[in-house]
Structure 1
């Protein structure tokens, strides 16, 4: 499953650390998700979508 987190995060001028703080996870978690090394929980996916002002469906796409 690919994600668009980095592509959506950068125009909002959010660092990985800032996004992590808003989602109550570590920067390493955001980095791992962006690099397709970790699949977020459903709750974290919803939190990411909320902060990035998009939907979960738009945030993740199946390969």
Structure 2
């Protein structure tokens, strides 16, 4: 059985964890259309919104 470590449980860098969750949430909602930007190009507004969602999600799981 592989050694699986929970990223949530073992995260030392809370900001990096939030960034990872925000990016993963964003990427999961992409549709592949011309106006569908990857996370690095999403813009400040969407980064703020998805980081807030990620913070809420991580808080709910702790």
TM range (shorter): 0.3 to 0.5
- Say which structure, 1 or 2, has more relative contact order (CA 8 Å, 6+ apart): 1
TM-score (norm 2): 0.33
Bigger helix share: 2
Bigger strand share: 1
* Higher-Rg member (1/2): 2
